[in-house]
Amino acid sequence: MDLTTRPLASAAGTSPADLRSLPTARPLVEMQGVTVTFNNRPALHGVNLAVRSGEVVTLIGPNGSGKTTLIRVLGGLIKADAGKVEKRDGLRIGYVPQRTHIRNSLPMTVARFLALGGKVNRAGVAEALAEVGADGLADASIHQLSGGEFQRVALARALMQRPDLLLLDEPAQGVDVAGQAQLYQLIDRLRRERGLGVVLSSHDLHLVMAATDRVVCLNGHVCCVGSPASVANDPAFRGLFGEAAAALAVYRHDPAHDHNHDHGSDGVCDHDHHHS
Amino acid sequence: MFDSFFLYALAAGIGVALVAAPLGCFVVWRGLAFFGDALAHSALLGLAFGMALGVAPGAAVLVFAVLFALALAALERLGPLASDTLLGILAPSLLAAGMIASTMLPGARLDLLGALFGDVLAVGPTDLAWIYGGGLVVLAGLAWLWRPLIAATADADVAAVEGISVARLNLALLLLLALTVALAVKVVGVLLIGALLVIPAAAARGLARSPEGMAIIAAVTGVLAVILGLSGSLAFDLPAGPAIVVAAALLFALSLVGGRQRQAA
Contacts of A100 in chain B (CB under 8 A): 154-155, 158
Along the 276 residues of chain A, how does pLDDT read in single tens digits? 444 433 443 434 444 444 444 445 789 999 999 999 988 888 899 999 999 999 999 998 888 889 999 999 999 999 999 999 999 988 999 999 988 888 999 999 999 999 998 777 888 899 899 988 888 899 999 999 988 889 889 999 999 989 999 999 988 877 777 788 888 888 888 888 889 999 999 877 666 676 788 889 888 888 888 887 777 777 777 777 765 555 554 444 444 444 444 433 344 444 444 443
The pLDDT value recorded for residue A107 is: 96
- Please tell me if residue A167 touches chain B, with a CB cutoff of 8 Å: yes
Residue B182 CB-density burial (10 A; 0-12 exposed, 13-18 middle, 19+ buried) = buried
Q: Which domains does chain B have, with CATH numbers?
A: 4-190 (1.10.3470.10)
The pLDDT value recorded for residue A68 is: 92
Please tell me the pTM assigned to this model: 0.85
Which of B155, B161, B263 best probes binding to A when mutated, by most A CB atoms within 10 angstroms?
Answer: B161
Q: Which residues contact A250 (CB under 8 A, 6 or more apart)?
A: A209, A228, A229, A232
Are B45 and B97 in contact by the 8 Å Cβ rule? The answer is yes
CA count, 13 A, side-chain hemisphere, A18: 18
Give me the residue from B30, B31, B161 closest to A95, CB to CB: B161
CATH superfamily placement of domain A11-92+165-276: P-loop containing nucleotide triphosphate hydrolases (3.40.50.300)
10-residue averages of pLDDT along chain B (265 residues): 84 96 96 91 88 83 86 83 89 91 77 87 90 96 96 94 92 90 89 94 94 97 97 94 96 86 53
Give me the residue from B31, B154, B161 closest to A108, CB to CB: B154
Q: How distant is the Cα of B131 from the closest Cα of chain A, in angstroms?
A: 28
Sign of CA dihedral A194, A200, A203, A205: positive
Residue A114 CB-density burial (10 A; 0-12 exposed, 13-18 middle, 19+ buried) = buried
**Any idea what DSSP says for residue A109?**
B
Are A196 and A190 in contact by the 8 Å Cβ rule? The answer is yes
Cβ–Cβ of A77/B161 closer than 8 Å? Answer: yes
The pLDDT value recorded for residue A258 is: 41
Q: How distant is the Cα of B169 from the closest Cα of chain A, in angstroms?
A: 15
Neighbours of B70 (CB within 10 A): 12
Alpha-carbon gap, residue B30 to B149, rounded angstroms: 11
- Please tell me if residue A141 touches chain B, with a CB cutoff of 8 Å: yes
Alpha-carbon gap, residue B92 to B131, rounded angstroms: 27
Contacts of A158 in chain B (CB under 8 A): 158
Helix (H) or strand (E) holding A51: strand A41-51
Give me the residue from B154, B158, B202 closest to A95, CB to CB: B158
The pLDDT value recorded for residue A243 is: 58
Contacts of B213 in chain A (CB under 8 A): 107
Q: Which of residues 69-128 of A touch B (CB under 8 A)?
A: 72, 75-77, 93-97, 100, 102-103, 105-109, 112-113, 116-118
Determine phi and psi for A268, rounding to 5 degrees: -125, 110
- Contact residues of B toward A, CB < 8 A: 28-31, 147, 150-151, 153-155, 157-162, 202, 205, 208-211, 213-214
In B118-210, where does DSSP find H-type helix? 125-154, 156-161, 166-188, 193-205
Alpha-carbon gap, residue B178 to B59, rounded angstroms: 10
Give me the residue from B154, B160, B162 closest to A106, CB to CB: B154
Are A165 and A199 in contact by the 8 Å Cβ rule? The answer is yes
Residue among B179, B151, B198 at smallest CA distance from B46: B179
Residue boundaries of the structural domains of chain A: 11-92+165-276, 103-160
Residue A16, CA distances (Å) to A4, A6, B224 in order: 19, 17, 67
Alpha-carbon gap, residue A156 to A171, rounded angstroms: 12
The pLDDT value recorded for residue B139 is: 97
Residue A260 CB-density burial (10 A; 0-12 exposed, 13-18 middle, 19+ buried) = middle
ipTM over 0.85: yes
**Any idea what DSSP says for residue A202?**
-
The pLDDT value recorded for residue B58 is: 79
Spatial strand order in the sheet of A41-51: A41-51, A29-38, A82-87
